[in-house]
Each structure stands twice: as C-alpha cells, then as structure tokens.
A and B are shown apart, each in its own frame.
Chain A
Amino acid sequence: MKPHRLKLRRKLALLFILLAVSAITTTPLYAKDNFKVCWSIYVGWMPWDYGAKEGIVKKWAAKYGISIDVVQINDYIESINQYTAGAYDGCTMTNMDALTIPAAGGVDSTALVVGDFSNGNDGIVLKGKPALKDIKGQKVNLVELSVSHYLLARALESVGLSEKDITVVNTSDADLVAAYATPGVTSVVTWNPLLSEITAMPNSAKVFDSAKIPGEIIDLMVVNTKTLKDNPKFGKALTGAWYEIMAAMKDGSPKAKTARTFMATASGTDLKGYEAQLATTEMFYDAKNAVAFTNSPKLKTTMQYVAEFSFAHGLLGEGAPDAGFIGIEMPAGVYGSSGNVKLRFDPSYMKMAADGKL
C-alpha cells in the first residue's frame, strides 16, 4: 500500500470519528434562527398541531425573523426525554414531569406558556365499588410515577389512607383500557380520553378526579431557559402564535368549530368527544387568566406538593437530600433551593400577549 493512500484513509477515519462524536455530544446553544419544539397528543396540546398546520406558528416565527419546527412525537415520555437530551428547544409537558425529567436532569427549563390545568381530565375508577375509601387493599393499575400516581396520592390523603394501603401495578397507558376489561383489574387511575372510555364501561364508578384538586395538574409549553434567554424572539413568536390559536378556537363561531374539529380528528376522536374533554380541561384562552394563575401564591403551594411527592418517590434523583433540592422559581417566590433553580414559571411573555405587545 502506498503511504499517501494510508494517510488519506487515516484522515478520513479521524474525520468520521469526529463527526460521530460531535453528533452525539450536545452542540452549544448560541443565538440562532432555527428552533424545534415537540408535542404529543393531549386535549390541551392539540392547538399546537392546529397552529402548525394552519401556518400560524410559521407566520409568527416569520414576524420575528426566525423559523420554528413543530414536531409531533407519538410517545409522551419519549418527547420529554428528547427535549431533555437537547434534541428540541421546547416541548409540551405537565408541571410534574417538567420538574422530574428535565429539571431533575439538570436542564434549566422555563414554563413559557401555561396552557391549561386538568379539571376532571384525570380520575380514579373503581369496579363495582361506589366510594374512594373502598380502594383500600386493592391492586391499582396506573402509569407509575406519572400524574396519575400523583392524583392517587392526593386522593388517598383526602380519605386518610396512604400508598401502603394499596398495591400499585405499573401498567402502560396504551394497554390500560384492555387491562380494565379483564376481571382481575378492579381499579385504575388514568387520564382522558382513556378515562371516559373506562367510565363508560358497565359497573364502573369514577370515585375521584382532578376537579377535586383544581390547578394542580398543569399543562405547559416548556422551553430551555438558556435558549430563551439568548433568543427572546423564540419566546415571543411561540407565545404570540399560541394566543392567536386560542382566539381562533375558543368561541362558537364556525371558524372556531372548524378549528376544534381539526383538533378532534387529529387526536382520534370527533368534535363531540373533543368538546367533552375540553369541558374537563380549564383552558386559559385569555392570556390575562394564565398570567393571573401563574402569579398566584397557590401555584407555589401546588409545586410544593408536587416536589414533595416527587421526592418521596425518588424522582428528584438519589442525590437529592430533600424535596427542595431543585429550586422552582415562581412570581410568588422561589420554592426550595435558590442556588439550584432549574424550573421557572415566567409569566413575562404571556404578559406581553395580554398587553398586546407581541
């Protein structure tokens, strides 16, 4: 073999390794023009799909001279993991998952848009028993460590029981409805649209739902704090697009109906089914309400419950010495360690939308 060929080969091999490694490792975040956000199917996040397909997101991005890709991911947890790993600049998730996945993973995250809270969209169903306290001693099928688990813990607390009085069986949400149809499964905790599917089955009683703990299960658009800080345009474009979508879907006009029908079809149901889900979801159509909700001191109490639940279940990482290990910054103050703030509720962009300054 001739020596110069060898050199070329070696160079090529080195180049290949470098490329491979740089592909795996994170690219540093600087001011940029292209952004990617992800979402998964849920009643409160369908508007993102509508906004993307109708060009509303594109229009707002263009207004600020950037571009935003809105990508649907079929698996909710996978979408958050992708965001946490740095593949996306923002993603839809609940307040609890925002704390336990990206924030606990050291990715400083900001809740840019507070979209809605679950007001009956999550619930506990018992087979053949009318009251929540009958759950004692039962095996409860649910997605372990999810908001369902949190709801269960809050429900048990309300009737003086604890998790020791039941057995939790981790069950994939994809198989929960089929699982409930088997005789061995007597109680489940889940969310819509599965919840309405299950309560419709004979001999089933919904004994507790999130309407009894309003405002505790919050659906957010979470973005990387550093990206947001370096690129306020990104936050402005996303927030602006969101409230234009909200305005387009909220009332009884034919245009809003078309929008809701689009979202219904995209989430695998019909207009009636989607509106039933909307009824148990407290959407903040008006940016003012979202700002007021974020500013309220109650949010701090909620996040404290969520942090305490997460800590008790080891979700803040094994290195966490107490529930306040990860600081959560809210307008009402910081919960937990102010030196380790990883989750922020920032109403300033929603405020701009409310004031018409976007």
Chain B
Amino acid sequence: MKRVMNIHPGTVGKVLLGMLPFILTIIVYLWASGARLEANPNDKLTPSFATIGDAIERMAFEPSKRTGDYELWSDTTASLQRLLLGVLIAALLGLVVGILNGALPLVRANLSPYITTLSLIPPMAILPILFIIFGLGELSKVMLIVIGITPFIMRDLQARTMELPAEQLIKAQTLGASTWQVILRVIMPQILPRLIQGVRLSLGPAWLFLIAAEAIAAEQGLGYRIFLVRRYLSMDVILPYVVWITFLAFLTDWVLRQISYRAFPWFHGQMRDKS
C-alpha cells in the first residue's frame, strides 16, 4: 500500500483540492448570511451576494454623488501610488545599506546595531512623533511604509551578503578587483534576486502599514474607504474591498516573481523550488 506522503494529486485533483477551502468558505458564508437575512432583511453584517454586487457596481462603475469620482478606482490609484512609492524607497535604501553593511566590516560595526534597534521599534507606537515630523499628508503615509519595512530589508540583505562564500570574494580580489568592483560585480548581481525576495516578503507588512496610515487621516484610499464605511457597518462595501486588496497584493507578488524569473533564471535554478 502506498504511503500517504507518496500520493500526489493529478493536475485536475490539485486544482479541485485547492479550490475546496474557498468553496467551503463561500458556502458557510451563504448559509450564515441567509439565516441572518431571514431574521432581518436589512441586516448589514452579512449581506447577500446581490447586495454586494450592487455595492461593487456603485463603487466601481458609477460616479460618486459627492465627488463625481469612480471611488473604487480613485481609491485604488491613491493606495497603489503610496504603496509603490514606499516600497520602492524602502527597497533602494535596503539594497544600499544592506550591501554596505554586509560587505564592509567598518560600516557594519557602525550601523548594524542601530538598524537592529530601529527594526524592533513598532512604527505604530511612535505615530504622534511621525505626524509632527512628516505632517499628515501623503508624505507621512509613504514614510510609515518606509519606516515599517526598510529595517527588515536592510537586515535581510546584510545577512544574505554575509552568506556569500568568502572564496568568491577572495578570488575576485586576487584577480585585482577593488572594493568597489567586488561590490558592484560580485555582490550586487547575487543580491538583487534576494532583494526581490525580501520585498515580496515585506509586501504583507507594507499593506498593513498603508491601511493603518489611511485609517488615521486621509481623503481617499482603500484603507480610508474601509474605515469610513465601517462607521455605518457597510459590509457590502468592505467585503469586496477586502477581496480587491487581496487580489492586488497577490498581483504585485506575482509580478515580482515573474520579474525575478525572467531576470535571474540562474537564481531560481539554484533554489530548486518555485518560490
């Protein structure tokens, strides 16, 4: 008899098994929603799919009565702009400081303890200080993301740089490379795919910080909308927004993975898994 660990689902089986939890979730939701709506047809906590559909139609395809914007799209643009800007700045800072920290003992002795300390400060706990430094506008929202994820990327890349085999670095030096050349030609190319990996891992926290920033003070954005309509329990708007955010997060992750595959095929060959 085959051991369980050796049973592999076929292609169709894999898809079906993967979909099962999603289908079960939907069934449980429909069940609960149906029961609550039977007791109170105006119940807002678990709206029916028809109500949710109406809300999507209203948010995405009809201009808002108050501002004339198509709210879902203006919220999405505002949020993605903040997110991408924040992640980009964090990635650049992380790359530069991470490599320098990893490659140069002199810099590491100077910066590493500080960055380790910074990375342990919960950014949400120092919000009032951030407000006073960066104000309440776009800057503070981008900075919250930057402050939230940069230390992680820095530490990650420092560790990855230090993992590079010493033989490689010594060999480059015996061939006459300067410090600058070793960093640029030996370390940098090997660290870039790890940067993408690090960014992919910090996307979750980045979304968290974005939504927290938008909940505190904003005029538009996905987090802003969710916290606004939460005031009157509009789950018919919140649920599609949550699904939409999940989808956007999945999409950004997928795009980064594809870039990594195309740009650094050797890296994924070496890792042997498909992460």
Contact = CB atoms under 8 A, between A and B. Distances in A.
Contact of A169 (B35, B55, B219, B232): B219
Contacts of B44: 84, 104-106
A144 interface: yes
Interface string A162-176: 000001111110010
A106 B41 contact: yes
Nearest to B40: A106
A77 B231 CA distance: 6
B131 A182 contact: yes
A339 interface: no
A268 interface: no
A318 B54 contact: yes
B135 A183 contact: yes
Contacts of A263: none
B127 interface: yes
Given A101-B232, A182-B132, A170 B127 contact: no
Given A25-B32, A101-B232, A141 B217 contact: yes
Contacts of B227: 170, 172
A226 to B, nearest CB: 10
Nearest to B214: A170
Interface in A78-99: 81, 84-85
A107 interface: yes
Contact of A175 (B31, B42, B65, B131): B131
Interface string B26-55: 001001100110011111110000000011
A169 B136 contact: yes
Interface residues of A, number: 40
Contact of B135 (A28, A85, A168, A182): A182
Interface residues of B, number: 36
A315 B218 CA distance: 19
B31, B131, B135, B224: most-surrounded residue (chain A CB, <10 A): B131
Interface in B202-240: 215-219, 224, 227-228, 230-233
B58 interface: yes
Interface in B150-182: none
Given A84-B44, A184-B136, A318-B54, A175 B233 contact: no
B132 A181 contact: yes
A100 interface: yes
A110 B32 CA distance: 26
Given A141-B217, A171-B136, A318-B54, A21 B232 contact: no
Nearest to A99: B232
A6 interface: no
Interface of A: 20-21, 24-26, 28, 77, 81, 84-85, 100-101, 104-107, 141, 143-146, 167-172, 175, 178-179, 181-185, 313-315, 317-318
28 contacts: A25-B32, A25-B39, A26-B35, A84-B45, A85-B233, A104-B232, A105-B233, A106-B40, A106-B41, A106-B43, A107-B40, A143-B231, A144-B228, A167-B219, A168-B219, A169-B217, A170-B218, A170-B228, A171-B217, A172-B217, A175-B217, A179-B136, A182-B131, A184-B136, A184-B137, A314-B65, A314-B66, A318-B55
Q: Nearest 3 A-B pairs (CB), nearest first?
A: A106-B42, A178-B128, A25-B35
